[in-house]
Amino acid sequence: MMSIRFTDTLFHLIKTLEKAEKRNFKLFIKRSSGNEDLKIIELFDALDKLTEYDEALLLKRLTSIKKPQLSNTKVHLYKQLLASLRILKSTESIDMQLNEQLDHARILYNKGLFQQSLKILEKLKETAKQHSKYNFLTQVISWEKKIETLHITRSMQDRGEQLSAEAIEVNIKVDMVAKLSNLALRLYSFYIKNGHARNEKDERGVKDFLQKNLPEHAHEQTGFYERLYLYQSYCWYAFIRQDFLMYYRYAQKWIDVFHENPLMIRVETGYYIKGLHNLLNAHFDLRNFQKFETDLQHFINFSNTPLANHHDNHRIQSFIYISSAQLNQHFMKGTFAEGLKEVPALEEKLLEYALYIDNHRMLVFNYKIASLYFGSGNFDVSIDYLQKIINGNPEMRNDLQCYARLMHLMAHYELGNFEIIDSLIKSVYRFMAKMENLTVVEEEMFKFLRNSFHVHRQKLKPELEKFLMSIKKLEKNRFQTRSFAYLDIISWLESKVFEKPMSTIINDKYRNRKKRVYPKVLEEKV
């Protein structure tokens, strides 16, 4: 949970600053004011030294700022910090560079230097086109039209017709990008709230939504952003429906569109990182071990480049997604004990980055760590991590909320806490039924748990074998696969039937599957 020390926005900003950024800020203030003893410098230093935001302690440390002045001084400091960062970071972002040049064009226009302004706008237009910045192009063309309308520039006779045609073309592109980006965002939001489709009704709903909101001629688009948002939309659509082969295809297309336009990796680094994350998830879902390892190594190599470390956001997102993939690799291999060795360092890093990591991501990490402990047979600690999810925000990721409760129930079953099993079964069953999250797999699971804790241990094995046979029949049913994606119930049952650790069962499967030749369709870029 994020500490209350991060609730003050100014304090929050200062705590994200690197040494070079702090040094640059002080130089910026000294240059602009000529006074080294400004109140905002004193406030900056005092806030920088605090470990938690405490206004009473802050005021004690400030000699020249009284309580009534604090609010205005904080606002002024915040604005000055952003101004210094804008100057420092202006060369790092194509958007900031374009806006800076547009400001220059406006200044020249206001000075009456129309031709100079038009020259800058013409160069801006080419740069914006090169980087597919259609929204920015609309601003540039708008300024060009304004100059041509208000002044006789003698630039060319058919200038008006050309600008009108350009404006229409760009507006069509902007409209298409807006529709496709909205579609991608809404599908992703659906997944964050609900997880995978639970039944045919859910699947029909998401199919209808896609058909209703997919723009006409979307598949004919050739622009970078149009294709990127189209592939994102189909990624989320396939993932929600648990069509993992389709998910893989569009995650690969997502990455391919960057490799076809290498310049855009620098422009949209965040989307490239997210695409690599989805591609690794697709390999994990398909148990495509060789490609998983190859693409994970590519991601790790990319995360060590200057580009991936240029911004806090990119560096931290790379860490989050690579860490998630490495945990998934332990689940694929059954190397739970090895995975647990990495947990302390992971948690230390998560604490360091607490400022930047959202609750949804922490929810996922807690579930993965709980799964590692469960797989290694450390059920007590698994319960501790599951409690963090159960006691957290029930409105987020209904699917994880449900399966955290089911794993929590299974952990108590493993520990032999039979005195609470009956009430836990009722509680978890009610919760999952309320969330409309009960599939045949869960129904069978509850049925087994209800009956088995009354069965003598010596007679339990036949019951386990019967349960395993009934569950394995559901393994290929697409609406049941979500259960196996969250909880490897089959491996858990096999470990009991064959009296082997769960890690051994999974590792045997990993080694056997890795020897197989995968279908050609996985090698194709569709």
Query: What is the pLDDT at residue 507?
Result: 93
| C-alpha–C-alpha distance, residues 22 and 403, integer Å | 45
| C-alpha–C-alpha distance, residues 460 and 493, integer Å | 12
Please report how many Cα atoms fall inside a 13 Å half-sphere around the Cα of residue 523, on the Cβ side. Answer: 4
Locus of tokens 């209808």: 208
Rounded to 5°, angle at Cα 474 from 471 and 479: 130
For the stretch 310-358, pLDDT in tens is 888 899 999 999 999 999 999 999 999 999 999 999 999 999 888 788 8
The rounded average pLDDT for each run of 10 residues, N- to C-terminus, in the chain (526 residues) is 55 89 88 67 91 89 87 90 84 83 89 87 90 89 84 64 87 94 93 79 91 94 96 96 94 98 94 97 92 97 94 92 96 95 95 86 94 96 94 74 91 90 90 79 84 72 87 75 78 92 93 60 39
Report domain extents, the chain. Answer: 4-91, 93-155, 334-526
Contacts 24+ apart (CB under 8 A), 402-407: 402/431, 402/432, 402/435, 402/437, 403/367, 403/483, 403/486, 403/487, 404/367, 404/370, 405/431, 405/432, 406/432, 406/442, 406/445, 406/487, 407/370, 407/371, 407/374, 407/382, 407/487
| C-alpha–C-alpha distance, residues 327 and 400, integer Å | 17
Query: What is the pLDDT at residue 442?
Result: 83
Instruction: Residue 93: count other Cβ atoms within 10 Å of its Cβ.
Output: 16
Torsion sign (Cα): 339, 342, 344, 346? negative
Query: What is the pLDDT at residue 519?
Result: 44
Query: What is the pLDDT at residue 521?
Result: 40
Rounded to 5°, angle at Cα 196 from 194 and 200: 105
Spatial contact of 442 and 414, defined as CB atoms under 8 Å apart: no
Helix (H, G, I), strand (E, B) or coil at 99: helix
pTM above 0.85, yes or no: no
Question: Which among 294, 251, 291 has a CA at the least distance from the CA of 271?
Answer: 251
Spatial contact of 443 and 449, defined as CB atoms under 8 Å apart: no
Dihedral angle computed from the Cα positions of residues 106, 110, 116 and 119, in that order, rounded to the nearest 10 degrees: 30
| C-alpha–C-alpha distance, residues 296 and 291, integer Å | 8
Torsion sign (Cα): 349, 354, 358, 362? positive
DSSP 8-state secondary structure symbol assigned to residue 376: T
Question: Which among 290, 286, 357, 291 has a CA at the least distance from the CA of 324?
Answer: 357
| C-alpha–C-alpha distance, residues 116 and 109, integer Å | 8
Question: Which fold is adopted by the domain 334-526?
Answer: 1.25.40
DSSP 8-state secondary structure symbol assigned to residue 51: S
Angle, helices 502-514 vs 312-333, to 10°: value is 100
Spatial contact of 177 and 134, defined as CB atoms under 8 Å apart: yes
Dihedral angle computed from the Cα positions of residues 98, 185, 169 and 93, in that order, rounded to the nearest 10 degrees: 10
Question: Which among 196, 192, 215 has a CA at the least distance from the CA of 206?
Answer: 196
